[in-house]
Amino acid sequence: MLDLPSLQFMAFHLLVGGYVLAILIAPLRDRKPFSRTNTSEGNTSQQSFLFVRYFGFGAALLASLSGLFLSMSVLTTGSALHLDLQQTLPFGSLSINVDPLAAFFLGVISLLGAVVSVYSFGYSGEYAGRKNLSLLVVLYNLFLLSMSIVVIAGNAVLFLIVWELMSLTTFFLINYEHEQRASRKAAILYIVMTHIGTAFLIVMFLLLAGTAHSFDFQSFRNSSAQLPSSIKTLIFFCALIGFGIKSGVVPFHIWLPEAHPAAPSNVSALMSGVMIKTGIYGMVRVYFDFLAPGPAWWGIVVLAVAVASAVLGVLYALMEHDLKRLLAFHSIENIGIILMGVGAAMIFMSYGNMPLATVALIAGLYHVLNHAMFKGLLFLGAGSVVSATHTRNIEELGGLVKKLPWTSAFFLIGALAISALPPLNGFVSEWLTFQALLLGFNISDLSVRVAIPIAVALLALTGALAAACFVKAFGITFLGLPRSSHAEHAHEPPRSMLVPMGVLAFACILLGVFPGSMISILTPVTTFLLGGSASALEVLNLGSLTIPQSGAGGVSPLTLVIFLVALTVLPLVLGLLLGGKLQKRAAMVWACGLEKVEPRMQYTATGFSKPIRMIFSNIFHATHEIEISEAASPFFKQQLRYELETESVFEKYFYEPMRSGVVAAAKFIRRIQTGHLQSYLLYMFIALILLLMFAR
If one asks whether residue 223 binds another protein (CB under 8 A), the answer comes out as: no
If one asks whether residue 449 binds another protein (CB under 8 A), the answer comes out as: yes
Q: Which residues lie closer than 8 Å to 171 by C-beta, 6 or more apart?
A: 187, 190, 191, 194
Q: Which of 1, 2, 89, 446 binds another protein (CB under 8 A)?
A: 446
Q: Is the dihedral of CA 362, 117, 497, 599 positive or negative?
A: positive
If one asks whether residue 619 binds another protein (CB under 8 A), the answer comes out as: no
- Per-position x/- string for 270-299, each x denoting binding to another protein as judged by CB under 8 A, each - no binding: ------------------------------
Nearest Cα neighbor of 271 from 171, 121, 341, 123 is 171
Q: Which of 36, 213, 402, 652 binds another protein (CB under 8 A)?
A: 402
What is the nearest approach in angstroms of another protein to the Cβ of residue 454? 7
Residue 535 dihedral angles phi and psi, to the nearest 5°:
-80, 155
d(CA 540, CA 544): 5
Site for another protein in 455-474 (CB under 8 A): 456-458, 460-461, 463-465, 467-468, 470-472, 474
Find the length of the chain: 696
Cα angle for residues 650, 622, 252 (degrees, 5° grid)? 15
Inter-axis angle of helices 523-530 and 46-77, to 10 degrees? 60
Nearest Cα neighbor of 412 from 381, 439, 391 is 381
d(CA 216, CA 226): 16
What is the nearest approach in angstroms of another protein to the Cβ of residue 589? 4
Cβ closer to another protein: 298 or 478?
Answer: 478
What is the nearest approach in angstroms of another protein to the Cβ of residue 206? 41
Site for another protein in 474-493 (CB under 8 A): 474-476, 479-481
Cβ closer to another protein: 412 or 510?
Answer: 412
If one asks whether residue 599 binds another protein (CB under 8 A), the answer comes out as: yes
Residue 128 dihedral angles phi and psi, to the nearest 5°:
-55, 125
Q: Which stretch binds another protein (CB under 8 A): 256-264, 521-529, 602-610, 642-650?
A: 602-610
Cβ closer to another protein: 89 or 588?
Answer: 588
Site for another protein in 179-218 (CB under 8 A): none
If one asks whether residue 624 binds another protein (CB under 8 A), the answer comes out as: no
Q: Which stretch binds another protein (CB under 8 A): 1-9, 180-188, 447-455, 488-496?
A: 447-455
Q: Which of 579, 593, 634, 675 binds another protein (CB under 8 A)?
A: 579
If one asks whether residue 644 binds another protein (CB under 8 A), the answer comes out as: no
If one asks whether residue 544 binds another protein (CB under 8 A), the answer comes out as: yes
What is the nearest approach in angstroms of another protein to the Cβ of residue 370? 15
What is the nearest approach in angstroms of another protein to the Cβ of residue 450? 6
If one asks whether residue 450 binds another protein (CB under 8 A), the answer comes out as: yes
Q: How far is CA 666 from CA 262, 662, 672, in A?
A: 30, 6, 11
Q: 3-class DSSP state for residue 543?
A: helix
Nearest Cα neighbor of 51 from 24, 35, 18, 29 is 29
What is the nearest approach in angstroms of another protein to the Cβ of residue 318? 9
If one asks whether residue 642 binds another protein (CB under 8 A), the answer comes out as: no
Site for another protein in 341-400 (CB under 8 A): 398-399
- State the burial class of residue 491 (Cβ atoms within 10 Å of its Cβ: 0-12, 13-18, 19+): exposed
What is the nearest approach in angstroms of another protein to the Cβ of residue 662? 38
Cβ closer to another protein: 157 or 311?
Answer: 311
Q: 3-class DSSP state for residue 604?
A: coil
d(CA 445, CA 303): 15
Cβ closer to another protein: 150 or 310?
Answer: 310
Q: Which stretch binds another protein (CB under 8 A): 297-305, 385-393, 500-508, 606-614?
A: 606-614
Cβ closer to another protein: 165 or 481?
Answer: 481
Cβ closer to another protein: 7 or 412?
Answer: 412
Site for another protein in 546-575 (CB under 8 A): 546, 550-556, 559-560, 563-565, 567-572, 574-575
Q: 3-class DSSP state for residue 216?
A: strand
Size of the site for another protein (CB under 8 A): 89
Do the strands 545-547 and 637-645 form a parallel or antiparallel pair, or are they unpaired? Answer: unpaired
Do the strands 545-547 and 553-555 form a parallel or antiparallel pair, or are they unpaired? Answer: antiparallel
Q: Which stretch binds another protein (CB under 8 A): 10-18, 349-357, 525-533, 583-591?
A: 583-591
Residue pair 662/629 in contact by the 8 Å Cβ criterion: no
Nearest Cα neighbor of 90 from 248, 213, 221 is 213
Cβ closer to another protein: 225 or 592?
Answer: 592
Strand partners, 98: 81
d(CA 362, CA 345): 9
What is the nearest approach in angstroms of another protein to the Cβ of residue 545? 10
DSSP assignment of 10-38 equals: HHHHHHHHHHHHHHHHGGGG-SSTT-SB-
Cβ closer to another protein: 231 or 456?
Answer: 456
Cβ closer to another protein: 31 or 449?
Answer: 449
Q: Which of 1, 2, 225, 586 binds another protein (CB under 8 A)?
A: 586
d(CA 287, CA 236): 7
Site for another protein in 295-334 (CB under 8 A): none
